[in-house]
Structure 1
Protein backbone atom coordinates (compact mmCIF):
# COMPACT_ATOMS: atom_id res chain seq x y z
CA UNK A 1 0.00 0.00 0.00
CA UNK A 2 1.14 3.50 -0.70
CA UNK A 3 -0.69 6.67 0.22
CA UNK A 4 -3.68 4.79 1.63
CA UNK A 5 -4.59 3.22 -1.73
CA UNK A 6 -4.39 -0.38 -2.82
CA UNK A 7 -1.71 -1.11 -5.37
CA UNK A 8 -2.54 -3.01 -8.50
CA UNK A 9 -0.84 -6.37 -8.61
CA UNK A 10 -0.49 -8.15 -11.95
CA UNK A 11 -2.34 -11.45 -12.04
CA UNK A 12 -0.50 -14.63 -12.90
CA UNK A 13 -2.09 -17.08 -15.27
CA UNK A 14 -2.36 -20.62 -13.97
CA UNK A 15 -2.54 -23.19 -16.73
CA UNK A 16 -5.24 -25.79 -16.41
CA UNK A 17 -4.39 -29.44 -15.96
CA UNK A 18 -3.75 -31.34 -19.18
CA UNK A 19 -6.95 -32.68 -20.75
CA UNK A 20 -5.80 -36.28 -20.26
CA UNK A 21 -5.45 -35.78 -16.48
CA UNK A 22 -8.83 -36.95 -15.22
CA UNK A 23 -9.77 -36.10 -11.63
CA UNK A 24 -9.62 -38.95 -9.16
CA UNK A 25 -12.90 -40.71 -8.44
CA UNK A 26 -12.02 -40.84 -4.75
CA UNK A 27 -12.14 -37.58 -2.80
CA UNK A 28 -8.95 -36.33 -1.14
CA UNK A 29 -10.81 -34.95 1.86
CA UNK A 30 -14.14 -36.18 3.23
CA UNK A 31 -15.67 -34.36 6.20
CA UNK A 32 -18.81 -36.00 7.56
CA UNK A 33 -21.03 -34.52 10.26
CA UNK A 34 -18.18 -32.68 12.01
CA UNK A 35 -19.19 -31.20 15.36
CA UNK A 36 -17.07 -29.32 17.90
CA UNK A 37 -18.16 -28.37 21.41
CA UNK A 38 -16.32 -26.56 24.19
CA UNK A 39 -17.12 -26.86 27.91
CA UNK A 40 -17.74 -23.60 29.77
CA UNK A 41 -18.80 -22.74 33.31
CA UNK A 42 -22.35 -22.33 31.97
CA UNK A 43 -22.43 -25.60 30.02
CA UNK A 44 -21.27 -26.64 26.56
CA UNK A 45 -20.99 -24.28 23.61
CA UNK A 46 -21.43 -25.84 20.18
CA UNK A 47 -18.92 -24.13 17.88
CA UNK A 48 -19.44 -26.35 14.81
CA UNK A 49 -22.70 -28.14 14.09
CA UNK A 50 -22.74 -31.04 11.64
CA UNK A 51 -20.79 -29.86 8.60
CA UNK A 52 -20.12 -32.26 5.74
CA UNK A 53 -18.29 -31.85 2.44
CA UNK A 54 -15.91 -33.56 0.01
CA UNK A 55 -12.95 -32.16 -1.90
CA UNK A 56 -11.52 -34.00 -4.88
CA UNK A 57 -8.16 -33.61 -6.58
CA UNK A 58 -7.80 -30.21 -8.34
CA UNK A 59 -10.94 -28.88 -6.64
CA UNK A 60 -10.92 -25.75 -4.53
CA UNK A 61 -13.30 -25.25 -1.62
CA UNK A 62 -13.91 -21.90 0.02
CA UNK A 63 -15.62 -21.77 3.40
CA UNK A 64 -17.27 -18.44 4.12
CA UNK A 65 -19.41 -17.18 6.94
CA UNK A 66 -19.84 -14.59 9.61
CA UNK A 67 -17.26 -14.03 12.30
CA UNK A 68 -17.55 -16.72 14.97
CA UNK A 69 -19.49 -19.22 12.85
CA UNK A 70 -16.86 -22.00 13.17
CA UNK A 71 -14.71 -21.71 10.04
CA UNK A 72 -11.38 -21.70 11.88
CA UNK A 73 -12.51 -24.11 14.59
CA UNK A 74 -13.51 -26.74 12.02
CA UNK A 75 -10.12 -26.50 10.30
CA UNK A 76 -8.26 -26.55 13.61
CA UNK A 77 -10.21 -29.65 14.68
CA UNK A 78 -9.06 -31.52 11.57
CA UNK A 79 -5.45 -30.49 12.18
CA UNK A 80 -5.48 -31.48 15.86
CA UNK A 81 -4.88 -27.91 17.00
CA UNK A 82 -7.75 -27.48 19.45
CA UNK A 83 -7.33 -27.65 23.23
CA UNK A 84 -7.74 -31.09 24.79
CA UNK A 85 -10.99 -29.93 26.41
CA UNK A 86 -12.68 -29.62 22.99
CA UNK A 87 -15.19 -32.38 22.23
CA UNK A 88 -14.95 -33.37 18.58
CA UNK A 89 -17.25 -35.82 16.81
CA UNK A 90 -17.91 -36.87 13.25
CA UNK A 91 -15.29 -37.84 10.73
CA UNK A 92 -12.61 -36.12 8.65
CA UNK A 93 -10.56 -38.33 6.34
CA UNK A 94 -7.65 -37.31 4.13
CA UNK A 95 -6.89 -39.95 1.48
CA UNK A 96 -8.88 -42.40 3.57
CA UNK A 97 -6.95 -41.77 6.80
CA UNK A 98 -9.00 -40.50 9.74
CA UNK A 99 -7.68 -37.15 10.98
CA UNK A 100 -9.81 -36.61 14.06
CA UNK A 101 -8.07 -37.76 17.23
CA UNK A 102 -5.34 -39.54 15.25
CA UNK A 103 -1.98 -39.83 17.04
CA UNK A 104 0.62 -37.31 15.84
CA UNK A 105 2.91 -40.04 14.52
CA UNK A 106 0.12 -41.35 12.25
CA UNK A 107 -0.51 -37.90 10.80
CA UNK A 108 3.19 -37.42 10.01
CA UNK A 109 3.47 -40.72 8.12
Structure 2
Protein backbone atom coordinates (compact mmCIF):
# COMPACT_ATOMS: atom_id res chain seq x y z
CA UNK A 1 0.00 0.00 0.00
CA UNK A 2 1.30 3.44 -0.91
CA UNK A 3 0.00 6.85 -0.07
CA UNK A 4 0.70 9.92 -2.15
CA UNK A 5 0.24 13.54 -1.29
CA UNK A 6 0.55 16.34 -3.79
CA UNK A 7 1.94 19.57 -2.43
CA UNK A 8 3.27 22.87 -3.61
CA UNK A 9 6.20 24.66 -2.02
CA UNK A 10 5.44 28.27 -1.23
CA UNK A 11 8.31 30.63 -0.48
CA UNK A 12 6.83 32.87 2.19
CA UNK A 13 9.21 35.72 1.42
CA UNK A 14 7.63 35.89 -2.06
CA UNK A 15 4.06 36.20 -0.75
CA UNK A 16 2.80 39.76 -0.33
CA UNK A 17 1.93 40.53 3.29
CA UNK A 18 -1.09 42.47 2.06
CA UNK A 19 -2.55 39.21 0.69
CA UNK A 20 -2.89 37.88 4.24
CA UNK A 21 -4.90 40.96 5.23
CA UNK A 22 -7.12 40.87 2.15
CA UNK A 23 -7.94 37.15 2.25
CA UNK A 24 -9.34 35.15 5.14
CA UNK A 25 -6.00 33.57 6.10
CA UNK A 26 -5.79 34.34 9.83
CA UNK A 27 -3.47 31.42 10.52
CA UNK A 28 -0.85 33.16 8.36
CA UNK A 29 -0.86 36.35 10.45
CA UNK A 30 2.14 35.28 12.60
CA UNK A 31 4.21 34.99 9.43
CA UNK A 32 3.50 38.56 8.26
CA UNK A 33 6.93 39.92 9.33
CA UNK A 34 8.75 37.51 7.00
CA UNK A 35 6.37 37.99 4.08
CA UNK A 36 7.19 40.36 1.24
CA UNK A 37 6.58 43.89 2.51
CA UNK A 38 5.76 42.68 6.02
CA UNK A 39 8.80 43.97 7.85
CA UNK A 40 7.39 47.40 8.66
CA UNK A 41 6.36 48.26 12.21
CA UNK A 42 2.87 49.34 11.10
CA UNK A 43 2.34 46.05 9.27
CA UNK A 44 3.34 44.01 12.31
CA UNK A 45 1.01 46.12 14.47
CA UNK A 46 -1.84 45.44 12.04
CA UNK A 47 -1.19 41.69 12.19
CA UNK A 48 -1.10 41.82 16.00
CA UNK A 49 -4.39 43.71 16.14
CA UNK A 50 -6.08 41.09 13.97
CA UNK A 51 -4.65 38.26 16.08
CA UNK A 52 -5.93 39.87 19.26
CA UNK A 53 -9.42 40.28 17.78
CA UNK A 54 -9.80 36.51 17.45
CA UNK A 55 -9.64 34.65 20.76
CA UNK A 56 -8.71 31.40 18.99
CA UNK A 57 -5.60 33.06 17.54
CA UNK A 58 -4.21 34.61 20.72
CA UNK A 59 -1.72 31.78 21.14
CA UNK A 60 -0.13 32.77 17.83
CA UNK A 61 0.99 36.11 19.27
CA UNK A 62 4.28 34.57 20.46
CA UNK A 63 4.96 33.28 16.96
CA UNK A 64 4.32 36.72 15.48
CA UNK A 65 6.78 38.23 17.96
CA UNK A 66 9.35 35.56 17.12
CA UNK A 67 9.24 36.32 13.40
CA UNK A 68 9.10 40.07 14.03
CA UNK A 69 12.50 39.89 15.75
CA UNK A 70 14.01 38.87 12.39
CA UNK A 71 13.07 42.21 10.82
CA UNK A 72 12.70 44.67 13.71
CA UNK A 73 14.84 45.53 16.72
CA UNK A 74 13.95 43.58 19.86
CA UNK A 75 13.06 46.79 21.71
CA UNK A 76 10.54 47.70 19.02
CA UNK A 77 9.01 44.22 19.09
CA UNK A 78 8.70 44.42 22.87
CA UNK A 79 7.05 47.82 22.56
CA UNK A 80 4.62 46.60 19.88
CA UNK A 81 3.73 43.48 21.83
CA UNK A 82 3.72 45.37 25.15
CA UNK A 83 5.78 42.60 26.64
CA UNK A 84 8.16 42.49 29.51
CA UNK A 85 10.61 39.75 30.38
CA UNK A 86 8.22 38.18 32.91
CA UNK A 87 5.63 37.53 30.22
CA UNK A 88 8.24 36.20 27.82
CA UNK A 89 9.67 33.85 30.44
CA UNK A 90 6.25 32.26 30.88
CA UNK A 91 5.97 31.36 27.21
CA UNK A 92 6.38 27.68 26.28
CA UNK A 93 9.02 28.63 23.71
CA UNK A 94 11.18 30.37 26.27
CA UNK A 95 10.88 27.40 28.62
CA UNK A 96 11.89 25.01 25.84
CA UNK A 97 14.87 27.14 24.84
CA UNK A 98 15.92 27.38 28.47
CA UNK A 99 15.58 23.63 28.93
CA UNK A 100 17.56 22.86 25.78
CA UNK A 101 20.26 25.27 26.89
CA UNK A 102 20.55 23.47 30.23
CA UNK A 103 20.77 20.09 28.46
CA UNK A 104 23.35 21.44 26.02
CA UNK A 105 25.53 22.84 28.81
CA UNK A 106 25.52 19.60 30.83
TM range (shorter): under 0.3
Is the radius of gyration larger for structure 1 or structure 2? 1
Q: Which structure ranks higher in relative contact order (CA pairs < 8 Å, sequence separation ≥ 6)? A: 1
Q: Which is richer in helix?
A: 2
Q: Taking structure 1 as the reference length, what is the TM-score of the superposition?
A: 0.23
Q: Which is richer in strand?
A: 1
